Amino acid sequence: MEKKQMRILELYSGIGGMHYAAELANVGAEVVFSVDINTSANAVYRHNFKQTNQQARNIESLSAKEINKLRPDIIMMSPPCQPFTRVGLKLDVEDSRCSSFLHLLDILPHLETVSFILMENVVGFETSEMRNAFTKALKNCDFHFREFILSPESIKIPNSRSRYYLVAKKCTDFSFGSENDIMTSFPNSRLCDIEMPVQEKTLDPYLVKDMSDEELARYLLTDKTLFKYWRILDVRQTSDTSSCCFTKAYTHYAEGTGSVLQHDPNEPFHQKFAEFKEDEDIAHLKPLKLRYFTPREVGNLMGFPAEFTFPENTSLKTRYRLLGNSLNVLVVSNLLRILLG
């Protein structure tokens, strides 16, 4: 008899990072219902997953009765992170954006078929009141859980993106770790042996090749940006084995939002910047062709497959914002395999 396909309820679905993670994990699970309130994200999701029942809804409108009719085995979710971010007000459970998450905790005891949960959020969630409420609700419903803070670097992807993750399953405990500890690496497990689409550790395989002059011009840093922010730019070469986390403000703010790339690897970086410091003539920096990573390149580093695309009418600013709000597909895929293993 063919094994029953597990059913996923995808909440706060964004542009579909969890959905792609489930496909990559290849664990016999499919997304049967997807919910998000963000109009731009929903447009991208529907563009890529035309067959999925995806609805623009406030999650507070989901009742236990409606969810039970869907018969989900797994809930995968990435709730709003703003209540816990270092740049936010850190209102925690008092933030109105936590209300939908609190609603989920209220109906959790009444969800009849859910046996597994995978949740992602920002670093900082682990010390929040919301986290305490979440883990208390899980224990009350006979779930066992494990918490992680992981970066793609742990699976040799050259991008820093540390995030908090929680996996939970009902009735049976995990064979590794403890509920009292937060793990910072994957457990030693055959279940965490996903075949990586890209094996190389440098940035080069993730980059767009043969970029036309017209396309390159679209991503080059302006003279104004170079002159004003050259001291704080995180410049990477194609041979580098790391890059900074790309946030939703990438290209909009210069500091702390992501790395930029030296497009021409043959130019001497340190020499050009030394020449610029002498007379502050931007012409010295021009040969480096310093540019932003394209949305496709950011998506590559975040594990989105080649078939992932944006609708043509999605602006460049929106593409960066949506990617910055998303998650690393490969990290989540590994966690899902561990959860269901």
- Which amino acids are annotated catalytic? 81
3-class secondary structure for 8-56?
EEEECCCCCHHHHHHHHHCCCEEEEEEEECCHHHHHHHHHHCCCCCEEE
Residue 19 has, within 13 A of its CA and on its CB side, a CA count of 27
Residues in Cβ contact with 326 at an 8 Å cutoff, skipping those fewer than 6 apart: 14, 15, 17, 78, 302
Residues in Cβ contact with 106 at an 8 Å cutoff, skipping those fewer than 6 apart: none
Q: Are 302 and 159 in contact (CB under 8 A)?
A: yes
| Distance of alpha carbon 249 from alpha carbon 260, whole angstroms | 13
| Distance of alpha carbon 112 from alpha carbon 69, whole angstroms | 10
What are the φ/ψ torsions at residue 291 (nearest 5 degrees)? -140, 165
* Three-point CA angle 71, 77, 80, nearest 5°: 140
Max alpha carbon distance in the chain (Å)?
A: 76
